Structure 1
Amino acid sequence: RYVSKLSSERGDREIPRLWLSAVSLHQNFYENWLPGEIVEEGLESVKEFVEKLRKLL
């Protein structure tokens, strides 16, 4: 819910997509099902997500 609310309040439709990348990487940490190149792409998305959050602080 918080991600949807944040996305709506900020008018940033990228936030949910970036959040999903972070969730997928977290799940993959335990399940190890993503290929390496997808993990690398996801890492870039997570960096972008963290940067967006830092700007809100």
Structure 2
Amino acid sequence: MTSQYNEKFQRVAKRIEKGIIIAIAVCFILLTAGEWLLEYAPVRAVLVETDRLEGVSRVP
């Protein structure tokens, strides 16, 4: 009985672990893509409200 329980638990745990790893990878890819998009001024002007309201300083 306990060996069946352990086998079922290991199968469920592996499935959950795989899902967590995939979720972390997707979040990392989305974060990287978002940061990359914010590097371009036309996209940043659309996405970031502060740039539209305050403008961009010419002095770095």
TM-score, normalization: structure 2?
A: 0.36
Structure with more contact order per residue of length (Cα contacts < 8 Å, sep ≥ 6)? 1
TM-score, normalization: structure 1?
A: 0.38
Larger gyration radius, structure 1 or structure 2: 2
